[in-house]
Amino acid sequence: MSDLNTLESEILAAIDAASTEAGLEDIRVAALGKKGSISEQMKTLGKMSPEERKTMGPALNGLKDRVTDAIAARKTVLAEAALEARLASERVDVTLPLRPSPVESGRIHPVSQVIDELSAIFADMGFAIAEGPDVETDELNFTALNFPEGHPARDMHDTFFFNEKDNGERLLLRTHTSPVQIRTMRTQEPPIRVIIPGRTYRCDSDQTHTPMFHQVEGLVIDKGSHLGHLKWILEEFCKTFFEVDDIKMRFRPSFFPFTEPSMEVDIQCDRSGAEVKFGEGDDWMEILGCGMVHPNVIRNCGLDPDEYQGFAWGMGIDRLAMLKYGMPDLRAFFDADVRWIQHYGFRPLDMPTLAGGLSS
């Protein structure tokens, strides 16, 4: 019996000293497992005499029950301590302010904003949006637009060419969105009224030029279009886009291979202060190029220039954004600086509409 008392004392002491549930489980296995110290004692009952079993049987069963109860009690204590430690470590300070949601912290890039504004304005005039690939053929980017082979106007575009193919053809990154005009006229029957926003590429980089920039062009083809329609569209666009009641425009003769006559357009502005103001003042600022579509371009698209005529215009989306929202350097548009986008960006849910205001 003294051996059982010693064994019980050792096991109970180990149980009290257990600091983790895993350590307590090891003690349980060592005492009550198949080869545990108490289990080994239980196996000796079969070799004892009836008189010895009457004494040792109750003693061993009592020891087993006391050890089981001690283990259960200690397990409850350890579980409560572990829960308290977890609650302390994972405590949430409910007094802290919530982090802003992505809808609150995210910003729309000014280029995307201006494209949405352009789309809203011209959609109200009945224009659809046309798109095309960034990689184009020489024929669509130049030849079909009345750029003759070897013409110096091709060099003005500083084109990014791909390696020459086996058949001698060289693909290129489009230098303007005008190839989409050709694609549209070749696939749609007039009347045609589309705007073409998209990326364009030229080998140029400074404060007002980047190798990749954004351009929007407009195209109207039907049987009765004329310069009066073009001037009205551009005037209404400028008034709506710059959100002024009235604006003066100046059309100057120019040259573009794909239009005849060709014009560059200046708009009235005031540069006397820290920012440019449109619709007032005595200064002028060039904003876009336009003209009547050249008969050769119409002919290259399979249409009869004696039956159909039209006009087109083109302007830089990045430049429009700079003029309207006061960005000083075009290169910052593509620097991926989160501070810049937080300052100049637009809230995601503030979609531009003519009724609610383009930039409200």
Q: Looking at the predicted structure, is the pLDDT value of residue 95 above 90?
A: no
pLDDT given for residue 277 in this prediction: 84
pLDDT at 359: 66
pLDDT tens track for 281-293: 888 989 999 999 9
Structure tokens given for 3: 């051996």
Q: List helix spans (H) across 278-359.
A: 295-300, 317-325, 338-344
Contact 220, 310 (CB under 8 A): yes
> What's the confidence (pLDDT) of residue 153?
65
pLDDT (0 to 100) of residue 356: 59
Q: What is the pTM of this model?
A: 0.69
Q: Is 138 left (phi over 0), alpha (psi -120 to 50) or beta?
A: alpha
CB 312 within 8 A of CB 263: no
- CB-based contact 215:197 (threshold 8 Å): yes
Question: Is 207 a residue whose pLDDT tops 70?
Answer: no
pLDDT over 90 at 123, yes or no? yes
Residue 1, pLDDT > 60, answer no
- Give the pLDDT band (50/70/90) at residue 360: low
Per-residue model confidence as pLDDT tens digits over 227-236: 999 999 999 9
Res 295: pLDDT: 96
Look at residue 199 and tell me whether its pLDDT is greater than 90.
yes
Q: Under a CB-based contact definition with an 8 Å cutoff, are residues 314 and 217 in contact?
A: yes
C-beta separation of 119 from 197 below 8 A: yes
Would the annotation count 40 as a binding residue?
no
Pinpoint the alpha helices (H) of 90-207.
Answer: 102-105, 110-124, 138-141, 152-155, 178-187
The pLDDT of residue 355 is above 70: no
